[in-house]
Amino acid sequence: MPELTRRITYLVGCGNAVLLSAHSHGSVLAATTVLQLPPQVCRRVALLTHASPLRRLYARLFPAYVDDEVLHEIGSESSGGG
């Protein structure tokens, strides 16, 4: 994830917007990446997940780490609302 975080930060620094698309368990890695990005970078990043187990699986197994508040934060950060 550090490489992905650096790459997104670089692309945004070059004036680009970034669409981060992830499928299944990759959406967990993408969501974690979004949470690690600086706010000025997040404003230029959109997150699109497909068949994400974040709520269905991870929220049940790891409620101390993945809950509605965290999922809302991921959504608002990656849509420019953070």
- pLDDT of 82: 47
Q: Which residues pair with 50 in a beta bridge?
A: 23
Residue 48's CB: how many other CB atoms inside 10 A?
A: 13
Mean pLDDT of 71-78: 82
80: helix, coil or strand?
coil
Q: What percent of the chain has pLDDT over 70?
A: 95
| pLDDT of 23 over the 90 cut | yes
Of 16 and 68, the structure prediction assigns the larger pLDDT to 16
The total number of residues written for the chain in this structure: 82
Domain limits, the chain: 2-78
Q: In the prediction, which pLDDT does 79 show?
A: 65
